[in-house]
Amino acid sequence: MASVLYRLAVPRCSLLRSLTVPRWETQRLKHPGLHRDATKLLAGENRSLAACSRADSRSQHTAVEVSVEVDLKRLEGQDKGIVEVLMCRHRARNALGHTFVSQMRELVSTLSHDSAVRVVIFRSLVPGVFCAGADLKERALMDNSESDLFVQSLRSLMSQIAVLPTPTVAAMDGVALGGGLELALACDLRTASTSAQMGLIETTRGLLPGAGGSQRLPRMVGVTLAKELIFTGRRVGGQTALELGLVNRAVEQNQSGDAAYKEALALAREILPQAPFAVRMAKEAINRGVEVDIGSAMAIERLCYARVIPTRDRQEGMAAFIEKRQPRYTGE
């Protein structure tokens, strides 16, 4: 069903979408990001959207329009297990506004409990932009207390992304500034086009990175370099970002403007054949281990390793090696 909605959405998935839903669902859909409740309702009948619409109309249902700023696409075939988070707030260049953040939080929460997901790619459908950062028009209408609460919600979102159990890849095919770069920093891996521009520019606006950037960037590139980048608010291109260790791969932009996405997809395809539970445990061991001393980190590694030993995938990996064939992992 998500693939159907995606086809309706691309390339302008931020346009208002009309869904026909029962009157008792109307109040739930007024909350930004809850359009997927209606999607699940329709999907349960395994019918087309048009068929559902006609049937619901006969039942005196009410139409509700919902703005979609973040959506999901689940790949199929050989890429089954790869899920794309699509950022498509076209008019505001994927700025981090209330609706955008609410929908992103909902989708990330869904992915965190989905065992079928093996790799998540965060990408933009807005040409030349990954995420432009804070929605300054919305922020200008907030008082100090409201602004603080909203930044707390941003920080919480980035933490949600960081603790997703599966590997995550940010595909930066354009500008990633402020909160946009903080979103990418919350991912495990990053690809960028050489033409992309990124930076934590908050000090140029009288602020500091408040959604995890002041903590994640030093852990990634080192304290001294992170201070220089944050103190100056400097923007760097994709190639420089690669040299600094800010991204994993940098590629020349192509005519369709999605070179970083294609590189992210290639990276996801390298991860996809590996044992899913082993990859999850490796991520947990690394993420938890880097925050503590080496002795404690070794204990964390031991615990994660112990959880892998009794799995069917480990037995399959050993059997495939002995039988000289490709393993067939199930995530069990």
Q: Is residue 287 part of a domain?
A: yes
Cα(60)–Cα(224) distance, rounded to whole angstroms?
64
Contact criterion met (CB below 8 Å) for 290 and 297? yes
Average pLDDT of the chain is: 84
Q: Is residue 3 part of a domain?
A: no
The count of other CB atoms within 10 Å of the CB of residue 164 is 20
Question: Could you tell me the residue range of the domain that residue 284 belongs to?
Answer: 276-323
Provide the percentage of residues in the chain whose pLDDT is more than 70.
80
Cα(248)–Cα(242) distance, rounded to whole angstroms?
6
Given pLDDT bands bounded at 50, 70 and 90, which one contains residue 66? low
Residue 128 annotated to the active site? no
Domain with 304 in it: what CATH number?
Answer: 1.10.12.10
Q: Which one of the listed residues 33, 133, 178, 179 is annotated catalytic?
A: 179
Q: Could you tell me if 236 and 170 lie in one domain?
A: yes
Q: Is residue 13 part of a domain?
A: no
Instruction: Please say if the pLDDT value at position 131 is more than 50.
Output: yes
Q: Could you tell me if 199 and 286 lie in one domain?
A: no
Q: Is residue 21 part of a domain?
A: no
Structural domain count, the chain: 2
Judged by average pLDDT, the poorest of 26-30, 185-189, 235-239 is 26-30
Q: Could you tell me if 137 and 173 lie in one domain?
A: yes
Contact criterion met (CB below 8 Å) for 285 and 304? yes
Residue 295 annotated to the active site? no
Cα(313)–Cα(327) distance, rounded to whole angstroms?
9
User: Could you identify the residue written with the tokens 């402020």?
Assistant: 178
**What is the distance, to the nearest Å, from the Cα of residue 92 to the centroid of all Cα atoms in its chain?**
18
Give pLDDT tens digits for 155-183. 999 999 999 999 999 999 999 999 999 99
Where is pLDDT greater, at 58 or 26? 58
Give pLDDT tens digits for 40-59. 333 333 333 333 333 444 44
Cα(28)–Cα(191) distance, rounded to whole angstroms?
37
Q: Which one of the listed residues 202, 212, 268, 275 is annotated catalytic?
A: 202
Domain with 160 in it: what CATH number?
Answer: 3.90.226.10
Residue 202 annotated to the active site? yes
Q: Is residue 304 part of a domain?
A: yes
Cα(258)–Cα(262) distance, rounded to whole angstroms?
6
Residue 180 annotated to the active site? no
Cα(179)–Cα(169) distance, rounded to whole angstroms?
16
Q: Could you tell me if 201 and 135 lie in one domain?
A: yes
Q: Could you tell me if 253 and 153 lie in one domain?
A: yes
Q: Is residue 83 part of a domain?
A: yes
Q: Could you tell me if 200 and 266 lie in one domain?
A: yes
Contact criterion met (CB below 8 Å) for 202 and 233? yes
Q: Could you tell me if 173 and 299 lie in one domain?
A: no
Q: Is residue 10 part of a domain?
A: no
What is the separation, in whole angstroms, between the first and last Cα of the chain? 26
Q: Could you tell me if 128 and 223 lie in one domain?
A: yes
Q: Could you tell me if 224 and 75 lie in one domain?
A: yes
Q: Is residue 313 part of a domain?
A: yes
Given pLDDT bands bounded at 50, 70 and 90, which one contains residue 330? confident
Contact criterion met (CB below 8 Å) for 105 and 160? yes
Q: Could you tell me if 246 and 140 lie in one domain?
A: yes
Q: Which one of the listed residues 69, 84, 182, 263 is annotated catalytic?
A: 182
Q: Could you tell me if 168 and 294 lie in one domain?
A: no
Q: Could you tell me if 258 and 315 lie in one domain?
A: no
Q: Which one of the listed residues 134, 184, 241, 278 is annotated catalytic?
A: 134
